[in-house]
């Protein structure tokens, strides 16, 4: 399936979805590809630019296979969204930026100790994850679920923290890889520690490590979060595209 994606960075998550044999994937092998790993998670749709009416008709028919809930999440280019919004009951529109770091920028005031997360960090990171979910998704995650998530991050070995002078973790971020790309994710700074350059420092150190390993660092961002976006820009991440997140009501 990956061969059908011409914008592999921009549609990183769709590439990842297609590596899972249990994912629901629909495609005409040329002009569109859509996939979802599990019900309740977003369905990603890649389409060729200037999609023909015939291809668009097929996309519409295949979308119906993903309408299993009252509200179904989708991610696609704005060109496709504009068409779909005229024919489906859509809501919760927001623009998600796709950023790449092609050249790392040196930063001043590097802070803290860049360190791989370990099991001694589990309780702190679980609290960070609970707070992050409340801030980003307005979702309450109970402690056992948060600890299970954090345990998986630590086991994968791609999760890092920035420690202050006392050794306490004050900021976290992880990454996943697919082919030449490395996607930075789960970036969070403890609320009371914000504005102290911790996030910028963590992103700098993590991006530097990824580049040294031969990856192309990238991430998705909500442009409404000015502080984190400033940190990304300071390190060298640049906007390379925009995708639309929205829901379709069944």
Secondary structure (DSSP) of 223-235: TT-HHHHHHHHHH
Instruction: Specify the pairing of strand 159-163 against strand 237-249.
Output: unpaired
Nearest to 8 by CA among 107, 102, 98: 98
Beta strands in the chain (DSSP E): 24-27, 32-36, 43-47, 71-76, 90-101, 113-116, 159-163, 169-178, 181-189, 216-222, 237-249
Kindly state whether residues 114 and 211 are assigned to the same domain.
yes
Kindly state whether residues 124 and 222 are assigned to the same domain.
yes
pLDDT at residue 99, rounded to an integer: 97
Q: How far apart are CA 148 and CA 193, in angstroms?
A: 25
Kindly state whether residues 217 and 107 are assigned to the same domain.
yes
Q: What percent of the chain has pLDDT over 90?
A: 87
Q: What percent of the chain has pLDDT over 70?
A: 98
Q: How far apart are CA 72 and CA 96, in angstroms?
A: 17
The pTM for the full model equals 0.91
Quickly state the pLDDT bin for 136 (edges 50, 70, 90): confident
Given 40, 67, 88, the domain boundary residue is: 88
Residue 35: pLDDT over 80: yes
CB atoms within 10 A of CB 119: 11
126, exposed or middle or buried, with CB in 10 Å at 0-12, 13-18, 19+?
buried
Residue 2: pLDDT over 60: no
Residue 220: pLDDT over 80: yes
Q: How far apart are CA 239 and CA 109, in angstroms?
A: 24
Kindly state whether residues 157 and 111 are assigned to the same domain.
yes
Given 88, 112, 147, the domain boundary residue is: 88
Given 88, 122, 146, the domain boundary residue is: 88
pLDDT tens digit sequence for 67-101: 999 999 999 999 999 999 999 999 999 999 999 99
pLDDT at residue 60, rounded to an integer: 96
Tell me, yes or no, whether 248 lies in a domain: no
pLDDT at residue 233, rounded to an integer: 95
Tell me, yes or no, whether 94 lies in a domain: no
Kindly state whether residues 42 and 117 are assigned to the same domain.
no
Residue 137: pLDDT over 80: no
Q: How far apart are CA 219 and CA 181, in angstroms?
A: 10
Q: How far apart are CA 157 and CA 222, in angstroms?
A: 26
Q: How far apart are CA 28 and CA 62, in angstroms?
A: 10
Tell me, yes or no, whether 249 lies in a domain: no
* Largest Cα span, the chain: 62
CATH code, domain with 217: 3.40.630.30
pLDDT at residue 5, rounded to an integer: 62
Domain that holds residue 48: 2-88
pLDDT at residue 114, rounded to an integer: 97
Kindly state whether residues 113 and 217 are assigned to the same domain.
yes
Give the residue-averaged pLDDT of 214-228: 91
Containing 207, the helix (H) or strand (E) segment is helix 198-212
Q: Mean pLDDT, the chain, as a whole number?
A: 94
pLDDT at residue 98, rounded to an integer: 97
Quickly state the pLDDT bin for 1 (edges 50, 70, 90): very low
Give the residue-averaged pLDDT of 176-193: 95
Kindly state whether residues 109 and 197 are assigned to the same domain.
yes
pLDDT tens digit sequence for 102-117: 999 999 889 999 999 9
Structural domain count, the chain:
2
Kindly state whether residues 18 and 61 are assigned to the same domain.
yes
Query: How many residues in total does the chain contain?
Result: 250
Containing 82, the helix (H) or strand (E) segment is helix 78-84
Kindly state whether residues 82 and 107 are assigned to the same domain.
no
Residue 3: pLDDT over 80: no
* Residue 97, SS3 per DSSP: strand
């Amino acid at each position: 399936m990956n061969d059908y994606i011409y914008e592999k960075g921009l549609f990183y998550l769709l590439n990842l979805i297609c590596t899972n044999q249990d994912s629901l994937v629909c495609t005409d092998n040329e002009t569109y590809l859509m996939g979802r790993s599990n019900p309740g998670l977003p369905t990603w749709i890649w389409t060729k630019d200037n999609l023909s009416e015939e291809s668009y008709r097929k996309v519409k028919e295949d979308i119906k296979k993903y309408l299993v809930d009252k509200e179904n999440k989708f991610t696609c280019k704005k060109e496709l969204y504009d068409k779909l919004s005229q024919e489906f009951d859509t809501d919760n529109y927001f623009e998600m930026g796709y950023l790449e770091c092609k050249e790392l920028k040196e930063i001043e005031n590097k802070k803290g100790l860049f360190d791989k997360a370990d099991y001694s960090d589990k309780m702190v990171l679980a609290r960070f994850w609970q707070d992050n979910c409340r801030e980003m998704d307005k979702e309450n995650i109970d402690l056992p679920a948060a600890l299970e998530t954090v345990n998986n991050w630590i086991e994968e070995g791609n999760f890092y923290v920035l420690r202050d002078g006392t050794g306490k973790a004050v900021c976290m971020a992880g990454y996943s890889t697919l082919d030449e790309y490395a996607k930075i994710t789960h970036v969070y700074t403890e609320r009371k520690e914000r504005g102290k350059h911790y996030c910028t420092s963590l992103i700098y150190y993590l991006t530097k490590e990824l580049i040294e390993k031969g990856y192309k660092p990238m991430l998705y961002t909500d442009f409404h979060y000015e502080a984190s976006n400033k940190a990304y820009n300071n390190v060298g991440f640049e906007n390379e595209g925009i995708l639309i997140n929205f829901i379709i009501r069944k």
